[in-house]
Chain A
Amino acid sequence: MTAAEIRTLILAALALGVAALLPLTGSGYWLGLGLNIAMFTVLATSWALFSGPTHYISLATAAFFGLGTYTVGLGFETLPYWSLVALAGILGAVLAALVGLATLRLSGVYFVIFTLGLAELVRQVITWAQNMSGQKGLYVLTDITEDHIYWQLVGLAALVYLVGWLIGRSRLGFALRIIGDDEEVARHSGIDTARAKVLLFMVPGAVAAITGAMLAPRYVYIEPALAFTPMLSFQVVIMALLGGAGRLWGPLVGVIPFAILWETISSTFPNQTMLLLGVSFLVIVYVLPKGFVGLIDTVRRRLSNREGWT
């Protein structure tokens, strides 16, 4: 490891330690906000791991999330909680692999369309199955508190960053950067592009399912419309792109302001959240195509240029 890497590692560990202290403040409001930020950090960062290098916009987060929630909801009476979280991760990865195998061999549009409806599809099937069996929702009654959920999410975030860092250094990460630059070139230099994309897509799939499983005890009562809310997928896309999907820490820069903004808007003007989503998408496309990270880079470059001139 180089000196710079060690410095980053120490800084990251410090930030993580500070973040883990939040429940000690004892304030319900801050904990709730912290939970949301931790959840979206995990989701947006893992989303960007796949969509950053490949430029494929995945809207399947809600489907994986709901899958994880339902895994816990259906199994927490028979199996220990920890095994269910692991099981959710495996199921998420399997679903992601299936979706990837069907769509990632083809052009990006098919993938977007498919993921757009995936959450709705799973929701319809589960609702139908519940109607068949005659039950409406599920109660998840555990002794897991919000503090525990928060710590789990912070731990998961650390894991996601670690995985992201490792992928960036691995052959897979290198292959993906080439695919992102020019898929034709990647194919000609002997990279199995479909395989690389499917493998990478399994990461956000598993992570989102684990996140859903971790949050299930918080909801207490689970029903399909809650677990598979399509809004979640869009929020994740906006946060990741707003921050900048090109860097590992980019999404975090988008998550914090957007989560706070969302919290404020949805508590004061609950009917305007759609408008907020729409405007955010337009801002990303027309004002901040590279996100806050791109903005920071431009400013930094300008500053160093100015120093160079004088």
Chain B
Amino acid sequence: MDIFLTGLLLGGTYALIAMGLNLQYGVARIMNLANGEMLVAGGFCAFWFYTAGQVSPFLTVAIVAPLAFAANWLIYQVMLRPLVKRAKTRGQLESDSILATFGLSFVAVGLMLAVFGGDYFNYSYLSRPVTFAGENYGLNRVAAFCGAVVICGLLYLWLNQSRAGLSMRAIATAPASARLVGISVGHLAAIAFALGGAVTATGGALISTFLTLDASTGVMFTLKALIIVIMGGVGDVRGTIVAALLLGVVETLVASLIDPGLTLAAAYTLFILILLFRPQGLFGRRQT
């Protein structure tokens, strides 16, 4: 039971990261492989503010999110828009953006290595246990989970209730038709990309309160987020959340029952099962 709850707590944070990637891939159509580096950068900020000025990571989010939003908006406008314009087909945009964001991700890792060195970094924040149903859980994990739930909830409401959210969903469903009904696709795609980056960086700040990160761990998070997005279905918020919780639970199960070194293998097993039996995602409809 405690394994299950720990898994859910981890999955909540995963949901936040995957949600960021889903916005970038579902709406802006950019398969962003530098997503994990944005997460690590968010974690670095939280670490730096906490060790330098004892600022709570939950307050740092207020700085990290706008910064990440601006940075990702710039990345989209400067680097990715030319690719979108150049691409003749969806496939070409996909391979171009994969290569470009790979480049970005390596540059980001290289810069972070140069600035912070290759050491692991972690700090101790809210690391006292809370007791729930007779078992102990780290308070930082619970707090990060609550933060993730709040942000996911706000995002869900925004996507489903506001006019901008409606436009976003329209682009995700049919980009060509969205243009016809007067939606500024280019403009909104940039915003979706920036928002996705901000959400991921926030996730990074939250996750750094209980996980040890280093400059080159980003790619593992990118992989997990990708697996979650595909499992949940591209552009599907509900599916992303369920898939993230599922992955969190399965990973924790494998880590505590078999071997902590096999977490990626566990995620991959899920991924293969999805590819073989439901390639359209957990809640997706088969395309005709």
A interface, CB within 8 angstroms of B: 55, 57, 102-103, 106-110, 112-114, 116-117, 120-121, 124-125, 127-128, 131, 230, 234, 241, 271-282, 284-286, 289
Contacts and interface: CB of A to CB of B under 8 A. Distances in A.
Interface of B: 31, 33, 82-83, 91-92, 94-96, 98-100, 102-111, 113-114, 118, 216, 219-220, 223, 226-227, 230, 258-259, 261-265, 268, 271-272, 275-276, 279
A117 B261 contact: no
Contact of B113 (A102, A103, A113, A271): A271
**Which residue among B102, B113, B261 has the maximum number of chain A CB atoms within 10 Å of its CB?**
B102
A285 B100 contact: yes
Please provide the 3 A-B residue pairs with the shortest distance between their CB atoms, ordered closest to farther: A281-B103, A278-B106, A275-B110
17 contacts: A102-B272, A102-B276, A113-B226, A120-B264, A124-B263, A128-B262, A234-B106, A273-B110, A279-B107, A281-B100, A282-B107, A284-B103, A285-B83, A285-B100, A285-B103, A286-B82, A286-B100
A310 B130 CA distance: 85
A282 B79 CA distance: 9
**Which residue among B100, B108, B118, B275 has the maximum number of chain A CB atoms within 10 Å of its CB?**
B275
Contact of B95 (A57, A110, A276, A286): A57
A33 B22 CA distance: 43
Nearest to B220: A120
B114 A271 contact: yes
Contact of A117 (B31, B99, B105, B268): B268
Contacts of A275: 106-107, 110-111, 114
Nearest to B82: A286
Contact of A55 (B31, B95, B227, B261): B95
B262 A125 contact: yes
A106 B114 contact: no
A125 B265 contact: yes
Contacts, number: 116
A273 B33 CA distance: 19
A303 B1 CA distance: 73
Given A106-B275, A113-B230, A274-B106, A282 B100 contact: yes
A110 B279 contact: yes
Given A102-B275, A106-B279, A108-B95, A128 B261 contact: yes
Given A102-B275, A108-B91, A117-B223, A278 B104 contact: yes
A280 B107 CA distance: 10
A117 B264 contact: yes
A71 B282 CA distance: 38
Contacts of B109: 274, 278
Contact of B99 (A108, A114, A272, A284): A284
A230 B109 CA distance: 14
B108 A127 contact: no
A57 B98 contact: yes
Nearest to B280: A106
A284 B103 CA distance: 9
A193 to B, nearest CB: 13
Contact of B265 (A109, A121, A280, A285): A121
A284 to B, nearest CB: 6
A121 B99 contact: no
A109 B94 contact: yes
B226 A131 contact: no
Contacts of A116: 33, 219, 223
A112 B98 contact: yes
Given A102-B275, A281-B103, A274 B264 contact: no
Contacts of B223: 113, 116-117, 120
